[in-house]
Structure 1
């Protein structure tokens, strides 16, 4: 079972981002996803910078994958995506169907990201014909749904692609053309001042009663809980999961990687670092921290 470091969901300063990935090159992680997936205005690192960083990390023995935006809304964003697809070295994580189309046209292998909304075996088979090599199901797709989809693929006589499940981090729940961070700070989206950079783990949002509820991250809304599927490793292995995705956090990621690296080589499931993921069990996603 491999470990992957999912794309950085937050907006960090350039030097902090580069330092994070220099450190990550020494961690027991097999796959590194690189690129901006949330907001095209976040330009501390350009597309050229991400491609260069992918080349450097690939030389360290990791697989570097370039991740696309979840919402492609402008010609400039499509142009940046085209340059990413045409880099000539890396797979692409397609988080929007425009990325799938570009990869299909150019014969570039791609990972179907969690925002592609693949809910049945027919859609998965179609994407495999287009060049899909690995699939990351959406955050709400739990054990039962994945089992049904796997069985349907087997009945159709088709092998499953590599299966990558989000095992650790705050779950990305929704995206919008509106910037929630700018709205929360009473700013216009086009004059946001890049205030996301002030919140390296997102802007906490509480209920009126003061209970932690969500994290606002630009145009993305996340769950407040840091979910952890570590204790579900026996079920993940039985299901045939190939890759565990861990989303970057501002602090403590080296310890998280060491924890999961030990867990994947152990016959016993590890203690829980974060919260139980209700979605995995077909229940509401929110659960108290374990």
Structure 2
């Protein structure tokens, strides 16, 4: 099983991003997704900068993948997607069907992103027929259903699972981070950059509820499947994805690497990981339960 680092969801200062990926170049991760997937107004890095980072990853022995934006609302954003999908040097993660169409028409292989929402075998077979060589399973899919899809789906199509990070739940035409400051979306003053792990939204009872990240809404709790890596390997999952966070990403990758290599027991890894998690862990969707639940695996229950 390989480990991947998903595309950066948050808006960080330019030098912070370069420093972050310089450290990632020395990490045990195998695949690195790069690019702006949330909001086109985020301008600290241009496409040429992301390609420079992709070159660094490739020179470090890693597979670099360029990711497209999820929600396209203007001609400028469509044009930016065309530039990404037109890059001949790197594999592309298509995060909307427009990008899929572009890559399929060019007869180029691609990764079917998380937000394509593929839930059944006919859809998965169709995606593979368009040129997908890897796909990312939806967050809400329980492991029993995913196992059946892997067994019955296209044999040459790799499966990737979102294994760690705040869950990206929805995208909107509105920017909630700007709205929180009473700013219009077109004059947001780049408020996202003040929240390197997103802006926590609490209930009236002061419980963590959701995280606002510009036009993206994330879970407050952190989806954490580190103790499920052995099950994923038995199922035939090819890649486990870790989503970047402002602190401790390198240490988190090291723990996942130790579990996949069998040098650290899954239940010990979850214990060691918890102090590095910015909120409570959850794994309910994986077990067919509400997403915010934390379900103990059989190995944990018998440890």
Q: TM-score range with shorter-chain normalisation?
A: over 0.9
Show the counterpart of 1:281: 287
1:86-125 aligned within 5 A: 86-125=86-125
Partner Cα separation in structure 1 for residue 156 and residue 87 of structure 2: 27
Unpaired runs of 5+ residues, structure 1, are none
Structure 1 Cα separation of the partners of residues 106 and 7 of structure 2: 23
- Unaligned 5+ segments in structure 2 are 275-280, 297-303
Q: Aligned partners of 2:83 and 2:194: how far apart in 1?
A: 29
Matched with 2:301 is none
1:228: which partner in 2? Answer: 224
Structure 1 residue 194 and structure 2 residue 216: aligned?
A: no
Report the secondary structure of 2:221's partner residue.
strand
On the 8 A contact 1:51/1:84 being kept in 2, the answer is no
Q: How does 1:107-186 map to 2 (within 5 A)?
A: 107-153=107-153, 158-159=154-155, 161-186=157-182
Question: Hey, what does 1:70 align to over in structure 2?
Answer: 70
Structure 2 equivalent of residue 212 of structure 1: 208
Task: Kindly tell me the number of residue pairs found equivalent between the two proteins.
Answer: 286
2:300 maps to which residue? none
**Distance in 1 between residues matched to 2:72 and 2:52, nearest whole Å:** 22
Deviation at 1:287, TM superposition (A): 2.8
Q: Give per-residue Cα distances to partners, 1:38-72, cap 9 Å, x unaligned.
A: 10111110112212221222121110000011111
Give the 3-state SS of the residue equivalent to 1:37 in structure 2: coil
Q: What secondary structure does 1:87 align onto?
A: coil
> Structure 2 matches for 1:18-37, cutoff 5 A?
18-37=18-37
Equivalent pair of 1:181/1:217 in contact (CA under 8 Å): yes
Asked if the contact 1:85–1:108 (Cα under 8 Å) also holds between the matched residues in 2, the reply is: no
Using the TM superposition, give the Cα deviation of residue 270 of structure 1 relative to its aligned residue in structure 2, in angstroms. 4.1
Contact 1:33-1:67 within 8 A present in 2 as well: yes
TM-score (norm 2): 0.91
Is the 8 Å Cα contact of residues 6 and 246 (structure 1) preserved in structure 2?
A: yes
Kindly report which structure 2 residues correspond to 1:46-61, keeping only aligned pairs within 5 A, or say none.
46-61=46-61
Report the Cα offset of residue 288 of structure 1: 5.9
> What secondary structure sits across from 1:249 in the alignment?
coil
Q: Residue 263 of structure 1 contacts residue 270 of structure 1 at CA under 8 Å; is this kept in 2?
A: no
Q: TM-score, with normalisation over the residues of structure 1?
A: 0.95
Identify which of 240, 243, 250 aligns with 2:246: 250
